[in-house]
């Protein structure tokens, strides 16, 4: 059965190329041109899209705003397309919850490959056990894919969840960025060290919202990151 996707792209020629390439690879693509139309589809109780592909510059709004709002509601895979390939645009997209960012012009075959990789990793079950706890301050419920910090269940993106889950497996161990990429993105992920740094930054902010007095993710310059909690926390 074809995998349903939503494409939000206002340039008809680009949209036709993407739809043709993806449907030839076994996806079913619904195409809309406006943020308003995308919200109607994505906010519908009948929405069954496995992923959304978002252009940034749309006639009635920003794809980045839609990305942020969607990530607050769903763990659906999000890929951002944009003619703007500057680092700050890529970082902003990732900070708002996108799973991947592809700058135009791009290869439709590359887009297909990245989508398949994202969907394959999002379907993978957790590899660690239920109820992993660190000093009773951090606890992981693998059945519901949730992590509790103190008394609060954190609202995490899939990447933030994967990073924190990996760090929780071995408290005190220094994880290289490459190892964290493998753990949270998969060994075939086309991402960079900068992607890990960006997601660690957003994850730290969410932890500080719960416990401003703690910064449990420690940066080891030139090496990577570790999880360290005081015993009296």
Residue 202, Cα to own-chain centre: how many angstroms?
Answer: 11
- Give bridge partners of residue 185 from the DSSP assignment: none
Query: Which has more confidence, 193 or 117?
Result: 117
Contact 27, 53 (CB under 8 A): no
**Beta-bridge mates of residue 219:** 225
* Residues 77 and 143 placed together within one structural domain of the fold: no
Single residue among 98, 122, 146 that ends a domain in this structure: 122
Q: Which of 85, 102, 122 is the last residue of a domain?
A: 122
- Residue 72, token pair as written in the block: 């607050």
Number of H helices, E strands in the chain: 8, 13
Q: What number is the average pLDDT over the span 153-182?
A: 87
d(CA 4, CA 96): 23
Q: Which of 73, 97, 122 lies at the terminal end of a domain, its last residue?
A: 122
Let me know if residue 127 belongs to a domain.
Answer: no
pLDDT of residue 87: 66
Give domain status of residue 191, yes or no: yes
pLDDT over 50 (residue 125): no
In this structure, is residue 27 part of a structural domain?
Answer: yes
CATH number where 85 lies: 3.40.50.2300
Residues 30 and 117 in one domain: yes
What domain range includes position 106? 3-122
Give the mean pLDDT of 134-146. 76
Spatial CA neighbour of 54 closest among 24, 86, 88, 18:
18
Of 65, 76, 124, 74, the closest CA to residue 99 belongs to: 76
More confident residue, 71 or 144: 71
Q: Do residue 22 and residue 105 come from a single domain?
A: yes
Do 89 and 151 share a structural domain? no
Structure token pair of residue 207:
């932890």
pLDDT at residue 37 in the model = 96
Do both 16 and 89 map to the same domain?
Answer: yes
Q: How far apart are CA 97 and CA 152, in angstroms?
A: 20
Residues 150 and 110 in one domain: no
pLDDT of residue 35: 96
End-to-end, the C-alpha distance of the chain in Å comes to 50
Distance, CA of 188 to CA of 42 (rounded, Å): 28
Model confidence pTM above 0.85: no
Most confident listed range (20-29, 92-101, 188-197): 20-29
Residue 232 lies in a domain: no
Same domain, 24 and 85: yes
Q: Are 128 and 142 in contact (CB under 8 A)?
A: yes
Q: Is residue 183 part of a domain?
A: yes
pLDDT digits (tens, 9 = 90+) for 69-95: 998 888 788 999 887 656 676 777 778
**What domain count does the chain have?**
2
Q: Do 118 and 144 share a domain, yes or no?
A: no
**How many Cα atoms within 13 Å fall on the side-chain side of residue 70?**
34
Q: Are residues 107 and 139 in the same domain?
A: no
| Per-residue pLDDT tens digits for 189-207 | 455 667 788 889 999 999 9
Q: What is the mean pLDDT of the chain?
A: 83
Tell whether 88 and 183 lie within a shared domain: no
- 233, part of any domain: no
């Amino acid at each position: 059965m074809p995998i349903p996707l939503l494409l939000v792209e206002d340039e008809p020629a680009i949209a036709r190329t993407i739809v043709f390439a993806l449907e030839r690879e076994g996806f079913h693509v619904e195409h809309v041109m406006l943020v308003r139309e995308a919200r109607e589809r994505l906010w519908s109780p009948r929405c069954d899209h496995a992923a959304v592909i978002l252009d940034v510059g749309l006639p009635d709004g920003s794809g980045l705003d839609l990305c942020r709002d969607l990530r607050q509601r769903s763990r659906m895979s999000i890929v951002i397309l944009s003619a703007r390939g500057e680092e700050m645009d890529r970082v902003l997209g990732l900070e708002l919850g996108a799973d991947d960012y592809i700058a135009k012009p791009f290869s439709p075959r590359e887009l297909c490959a990245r989508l398949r990789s994202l969907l394959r990793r999002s379907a993978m079950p957790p590899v660690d056990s239920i109820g992993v706890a660190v000093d009773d301050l951090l606890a992981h419920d693998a059945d519901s894919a949730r992590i509790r910090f103190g008394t609060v269940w954190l609202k995490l993106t899939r990447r933030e969840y994967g990073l924190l889950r990996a760090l929780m497996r071995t408290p005190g161990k220094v994880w290289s960025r490459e190892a964290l990429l493998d753990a949270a993105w998969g060994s075939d992920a086309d991402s960079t060290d900068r992607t890990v740094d960006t997601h660690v930054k957003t994850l730290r902010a969410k932890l500080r919202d719960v416990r401003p007095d703690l910064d449990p993710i420690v940066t080891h310059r030139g090496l990577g990151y570790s999880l360290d909690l005081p015993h009296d926390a």
